Amino acid sequence: MRVAIGSDHAGFALKETIKALLDELKLPYEDFGTTSPVPVDYPDVAQAVSHAVVGGRADRGILVCGTGIGMAMAANKIAGVRAAVVWDETSARLSRAHNDANIMTLGGRTTSAERAPGIVRAFLSTGYEGGRHGRRLEKIARLERRDA
């Protein structure tokens, strides 16, 4: 599995914690920035990670901003992205199992460095259940095509 990861300034410290975990897990990743806590615009990072995921350069994406909300809003503007704001291991697992989320967003101001590894592990290790959830994903796909 290849991971695309990115953050704005508010998520920088948590992103660095997550990168250390990815190194520990020996999972390859590409860091799309930012490289410091100097303010940047999160939509630019969200767009880069999103294109990496939908373009097949990465299998999953992780985005971190202050709350995860802005990153999710920006990422979900890209066709094919299913970005979910997650706040614990349960929401990470369910975002994958029920919604086939391909990008997880976290809040650097709302998610502790101690809780982040469990959340990331849950997101990366959970598969999509399919079944009854498939028709819902098809409806989302139709919305993308209709509004494009």
Domains of the chain plus CATH, in order, are: 3-147 (3.40.1400.10)
Spatial strand order of the sheet with 83-85 comes to 29-31, 3-7, 60-65, 103-107, 83-85
Active site residues: 65, 98
pLDDT at 146 over 80: no
pLDDT beyond 90 at 144: no
| Model pLDDT for residues 75-115, shown as the tens digit of each residue | 999 999 999 999 999 999 999 999 999 999 999 999 999 99
Average pLDDT over residues 119-137: 96
